[in-house]
Chain A
Amino acid sequence: MIFNECMMKNSIRSIAKTLCTAFCALALASCGVSKVVIEGSYPSPNVAKLPLSLAVVYDEPLRNFSYIEYSETGAEEFNIASGASHVALFDAVLPAMFLSVVEAASLEEAEALGVDAIFVPAIDEFQLALPNKTKLDVYEVWIRYNMRLVSGDGAPIADWVLTSYGKTPTESLRTADAAINDAAVVALRDLASSFSLSFAQVPEVRDWLASR
């Protein structure tokens, strides 16, 4: 009888220990940073092609770009990785805008390709607005870019700023991660639309195109 009681106590202790471990793991997981890798599909723009050969350089900061959103207590809340998605976006957009597009690992490598121009996109700033902070029923993403165009031999042509914005409404049964992804994809599409439609209107680019 004493043996049985002892066995029962051990078994209860074991279950309690397992439950405690599971609860602690769950609590720690819910407190940790949520990693969001932006994924989306980007259509090719329907615009007239410019008769130019272009080399594009995606530098390391762009390829590995990620933004960390902190909670009000200063803890990391979301880690948003959008570098790969930006590269996918430019890979879809640039071939529709230019006669030929090649990718180069560096500016030096691009200069050796003998192209008409070299394009170097960069992300200057990334902002995220969450409903629990703004008290609005939307997730918002705002991105500022620095676009740089240099000639085939490395001489500067244009250096301009482009902003993009995307939002998505809050919905029940949709996670914050999914909503952030959707808002970022809208922002990336906004970038693609404004970049493809305004590229030839940038004053320095327009002057350079006219001089060719």
Chain B
Amino acid sequence: MKALMPLLVVLLASCTSTTVDEFRQGETGINSDESIVILGRRHSSDYETRAEFVDCVGERMTTGNDSISVIPEKEFVDAMFPWFEPRTAPLRTQDLERLMAEPVVADKIAQFGVRYMVWLDGFTETSGRTGTISCTVGPGGAGCFGFGSWEDDSTFDARVWDIASLQNVGTISTDATGQSYLPALVIPIPLIARVEANACVRLADQLKQFVNGE
């Protein structure tokens, strides 16, 4: 069983492909006493950036080499209430400039030591569901037979705003796709493509390099 594990991991990993694009518009760099805050966009009518994805990117950036101090989204949004709610959050850097003119907002952001504000916008969509699986329970036992598959597509953008210059210094886009399979021969065996998790890891690593000015 242990010998099969690496094969299984390779099989699962090979089900996902991820593309990351970076568009730099300004110089970046961060001091050890400065932090960043990562916020999810939630103003669209038909989707919102999941808080779990925002947390995932933040946690990944606080680990490993060149880790960055990241303020948790909920802590920041609650402390800044009501200025970063879905209806009141700044959509453009000009809005942020107006917001920073409010002494209470500027003071709070200075207290947090925020150097960069990162806006994550995107979602994961599932499509192409095919196949059927039927399960039966009888006096002799239970079992499932069949095959199902689907495709997940995660598309996320990260816009980086420099609080010092109140400018958008760059955008990082990530697109991850993967096919998941669910064969069932008595027992269903889920072969799930970790699409959103891969998008999170690749986006966080790129974002970390970007903020560090590499």
The one of A47, A168, A193 that contacts B104, using a Cβ cutoff of 8 Å: A47
Q: Does A181 contact B (CB under 8 A)?
A: no
Q: How far is the CA of A167 from the CA of B82 in the complex (A)?
A: 17
Chain B residues closer than 8 Å to A45, beta-carbon distance: 81-82
Residue among A43, A46, A165, A194 with the highest chain B CB neighbour number at 10 A:
A46
Q: Is the CB of B46 within 8 A of A46?
A: no
State whether A194 and B87 are in contact (beta carbons under 8 Å apart), knowing that A44-B81, A167-B48 are contacts in the complex: yes
Within 8 A of A (CB), among B72-105: 78-83, 85-88, 104-105
Q: How far is the CA of A119 from the CA of B48 in the complex (A)?
A: 34
Residue among B50, B81, B82, B105 with the highest chain A CB neighbour number at 10 A:
B82
Q: Does A15 contact B (CB under 8 A)?
A: no
Q: How far is the CA of A23 from the CA of B108 in the complex (A)?
A: 56
Chain B residues closer than 8 Å to A196, beta-carbon distance: 82
Residues 159-178 of A, flagged 1 when their CB comes within 8 A of B and 0 if not, give 00000010111000000000
The number of A-B residue pairs with CB atoms under 8 Å apart is: 49
Residues 115-147 of A, flagged 1 when their CB comes within 8 A of B and 0 if not, give 000000000000000000000111000000000
- A197 closest partner in B (C-beta): B82
Given A47-B104, A189-B82; 20 other pairs, CB 8 A cutoff:
A44-B81, A45-B81, A46-B81, A46-B82, A136-B46, A137-B47, A138-B47, A165-B87, A168-B48, A169-B48, A169-B50, A189-B85, A190-B87, A193-B81, A193-B85, A193-B88, A194-B82, A194-B87, A196-B82, A197-B88
Chain A residues closer than 8 Å to B88, beta-carbon distance: 193-194, 197
Q: Which residues of B contact A (CB under 8 A)?
A: 46-48, 50, 78-83, 85-88, 104-105, 108
